[in-house]
Amino acid sequence: MAAAAVVIGIVLGVGGASLRARLTPWRIGDLAPEVGEPPADAPRAEVPETRHAFGTVGTGATGSHRFEIRNAGAGPLTLTRGSTSCSCTVSDFETSAGGDSQARKVVPPGERTFVTVQWKGKPPGGPFRQQVTINTDDPRRPEIVFEVEGTVIPTWRAVPDTIVLTGLTASSSQRASTTIFTYGEELPEVARVEVESPQAAQFFTASWSPLAAEELTDETAATGGFRVDLEIEPGLPLGRLREMLRIEFTMPEEVIAEVPIEGSVGGDLVLVGQGWDSSRQALMLGTVSSRTGLRRRLFLTVKGPHREIVKPRLEEAVPASLNVSIGEGRPIGEGNVIRIPIDLVIPPGSRPVNHICSEQAPAGRIVLATGHPESPTLTIPVCVVVGP
């Protein structure tokens, strides 16, 4: 028998389409009640199945299932595209002679056609159920409703999804790792692992290895994966650490996974004073009026065996209107800590600038050369807006 293909592409999601599907009563097959005897030359639509549960599909991955429609009647069976609970495209239908924009397909008596449902996993993922309707001119079966259901899962998942470094100091090294689980039919092949920031990348060395089969048993639906190990070398700048680990691999299509790296780099140098936010590791000066200007005093406290040789020197200040003066250090208590005053002045009449510490308005900075052998440079982020 001749075969025809009706292709319906479905983009799967779990948003409004899924909600509508749950609220609409399912009419699988849509057999209409008998209203008298159909004509002898009427078509008769028959379908072996109207529902397919395909299990899981990864985010961005595609899958398909072919439904069969048979014409068991004596007359030709006309199929037209009906409503759907998702965004659909239809091909291989014919346009009517009158120019009707509604696509249709005619199946001769005793022949069959196939409705191929194609889907693509759409984030954020989760379970879904959706339907596709095909209209017929069979008096007994004016509609055939095909249902697809399953679960969209990520193409990959990182465990942990954020690498948090604790107890990190400028003079210490540390190790960290994350595991990337994958869910495609192909095993992943790692092409590159790197820390995005060139300034920080020099302190990170990455290696990776594939996961053994027994390491996948606790991760539902995982088909492969690999472990990324990081070696962090001494020398990271003091303060808050926020970097991004970028992992490129293929499955066989190219995939880019990003895993944040967070922490705080401590050491013998500690800042205190009005406006210093230790949680954000930034100097929060807020909004400053150019009519009145601003004055602040910070203190750089220094401990450890190198405290006597620390003599901070200004290398850079942003915005340019920020004046930085560094005073003489004085011992505190028994002399185990040296305290160095740092005076900050934005004078009246300064031009407007915006360094509010956002993506659109990045932080300003104060860069000090410290003379400390393990932390030779101290960069202080400055969040400030100078307005009228």
Q: Has residue 194 got a pLDDT over 80? A: yes
Contact criterion met (CB below 8 Å) for 364 and 316: no
Q: Has residue 95 got a pLDDT over 50? A: no
Residues 6+ apart with CB under 8 A from 121: 12, 57, 58, 59, 60, 61, 62, 152, 153, 155
* Size of the chain in residues: 388
- From the number of C-beta atoms within 10 Å of its C-beta (0-12, 13-18, 19+), residue 77 rates as buried
The residue written with tokens 């239809």 in the block is 90
Compare 354 and 12 and report the one with higher pLDDT.
354
Tell me how far apart the alpha carbons of residues 118 and 230 are, in angstroms, rounded to a whole number.
40
Q: What is the pLDDT of residues 292-319, one digit of tens each?
A: 999 999 999 999 999 999 999 999 999 9
Contact criterion met (CB below 8 Å) for 154 and 59: yes
Nearest residue to 243 (alpha-carbon basis) of 178, 301, 319, 317: 178
Catalogue all structural domains in the chain, each as residue range(s) with its CATH number.
Answer: 3-153 (2.60.40.10), 156-265 (2.60.40.10), 269-387 (2.60.40)
Q: What is the pLDDT of residues 109-158, one digit of tens each?
A: 999 988 877 776 766 677 877 788 889 999 999 999 888 888 877 788 89
Q: Has residue 24 got a pLDDT over 70? A: no
> Which amino acid, 12?
L
Q: Do you find a cis peptide bond into 331, omega within 30 degrees of 0?
A: no
| Residue 333 vs residues 130, 238, 304, 322, 336: alpha-carbon distances, Å | 73, 25, 14, 32, 7
Query: What is residue 92's predicted lDDT score, i.e. its pLDDT?
Result: 55
Tell me how far apart the alpha carbons of residues 88 and 83 are, in angstroms, rounded to a whole number.
9
Nearest residue to 29 (alpha-carbon basis) of 66, 69, 81, 63: 69
Residues of the chain above pLDDT 90, percent: 50
Query: What is residue 250's predicted lDDT score, i.e. its pLDDT?
Result: 92
Contact criterion met (CB below 8 Å) for 174 and 234: no
Query: What is residue 78's predicted lDDT score, i.e. its pLDDT?
Result: 92
pTM comes to: 0.53
Tell me how far apart the alpha carbons of residues 287 and 363 are, in angstroms, rounded to a whole number.
13
Compare 53 and 354 and report the one with higher pLDDT.
354
Q: Has residue 165 got a pLDDT over 90? A: yes
Coil/strand/helix, residue 40: coil
